[in-house]
């Protein structure tokens, strides 16, 4: 997978929130084989529940993994807030990459696509390389590309829901409509089968967090997700058979024995 001129050795991107402990987070990230981890500026910079300095210790852990960091603007509800958070994240993490999130609905955490496009345009002009968390709407996708984004990250389902791919038709349409744009299914993945299904549609990568972090065994689930993403990509590249409405015999019937 190549995005913003960078070739990534893994098609699984993993979040760093909600794990039972930093040690389990570290083991899960390693088991996933992910080359990119997402981080929240609020998580890194705040004192957190572990007391003063917890943010710095967390950042030290992530940095020691030697992976690319993708800061996000999670929790932002306006263009101004998202842009400011992105600018602060660039200073803290030293990267032009930003996962742009602008929440429009607090129940579903659905992106505010109007604010998203405006914020993407401002950040791109400021030198950011934007990874927009968006819906599967084709018109919005086109506007984001016009704003300077070189990758699109449509949701599979609401964040943390574990529902999988709510609208495979729309996701398939987006893949067909933008054949040369890196596409990442972001949010809603709950099972390895969901990740494999996204990759079988031809998506370039999957970004997930809760499915691994909240599993009974996050490390084992991270390994399962890694294999599912790899299997889904291999299946897509193998040019799978088309689905049929009727049965088709796999064993030839010509020449079979006839009984009087």
Reported as a single tens digit per residue, the pLDDT across 25-53 is 999 999 999 999 999 876 555 444 444 45
| Encoded tokens for 114 | 């109007």
Q: What does pTM read for this prediction?
A: 0.89
Please state which CATH number belongs to domain 2-238: 3.20.20.70
Which residue, chain included where needed, has tokens 């842009």?
83
Could you list the residues known to form a binding site, using ranges.
160, 187-188, 209-210
Question: What is the average pLDDT value for the chain, to the nearest integer?
Answer: 91
The model's pLDDT over 82-118, given as tens digits with 9 standing for 90+, comes to 999 999 999 988 999 999 999 999 999 999 999 999 9
- Among 11, 90, 99, 194, the active-site one is 99
Task: Report the binding-site residues for 1-deoxy-D-xylulose 5-phosphate.
Answer: 160, 187-188, 209-210
The domain limits of the chain are: 2-238
Q: Is 99 a catalytic residue?
A: yes
DSSP letter for each residue of 155-215: -SSSTT-----S-HHHHHHHHHH-TTS-BEEES---SHHHHHHHHHTT-SEEEESHHHHTS
Structure tokens belonging to residue 8: 């990534």
């Amino acid at each position: 997978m190549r995005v913003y001129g960078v070739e990534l050795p893994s098609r699984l991107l993993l979040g760093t929130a909600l794990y039972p402990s930093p040690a389990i987070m570290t083991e899960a990230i390693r088991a996933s084989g992910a080359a990119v981890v997402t981080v929240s500026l609020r998580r890194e910079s705040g004192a957190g529940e572990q007391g003063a300095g917890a943010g710095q210790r967390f950042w030290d852990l992530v940095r020691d993994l030697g992976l690319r960091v993708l800061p996000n603007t999670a929790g932002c509800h306006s263009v101004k807030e998202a842009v400011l958070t992105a600018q602060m994240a660039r200073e803290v993490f030293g990267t032009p990459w930003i996962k742009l999130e602008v929440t429009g609905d607090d129940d579903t955490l659905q992106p505010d696509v109007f604010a998203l496009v405006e914020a993407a345009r401002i950040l791109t002009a400021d030198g950011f390389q934007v990874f927009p968390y968006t819906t599967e709407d084709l018109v919005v996708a086109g506007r984001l590309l016009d704003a300077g984004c070189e990758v699109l990250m449509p949701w599979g389902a609401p964040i943390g829901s574990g529902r999988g791919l709510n609208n495979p038709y729309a996701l398939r349409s987006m893949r067909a409509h933008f054949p040369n744009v890196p596409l990442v299914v972001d949010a809603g993945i709950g099972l390895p089968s969901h990740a494999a299904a996204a990759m079988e549609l031809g998506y370039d990568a999957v970004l997930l967090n809760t499915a691994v972090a909240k599993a009974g065994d996050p490390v084992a689930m991270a390994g399962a997700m890694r294999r599912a993403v790899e299997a889904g990509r291999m299946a897509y590249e193998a040019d799978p058979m088309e689905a049929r409405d009727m049965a088709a015999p796999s064993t030839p019937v010509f020449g079979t024995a006839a009984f009087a």
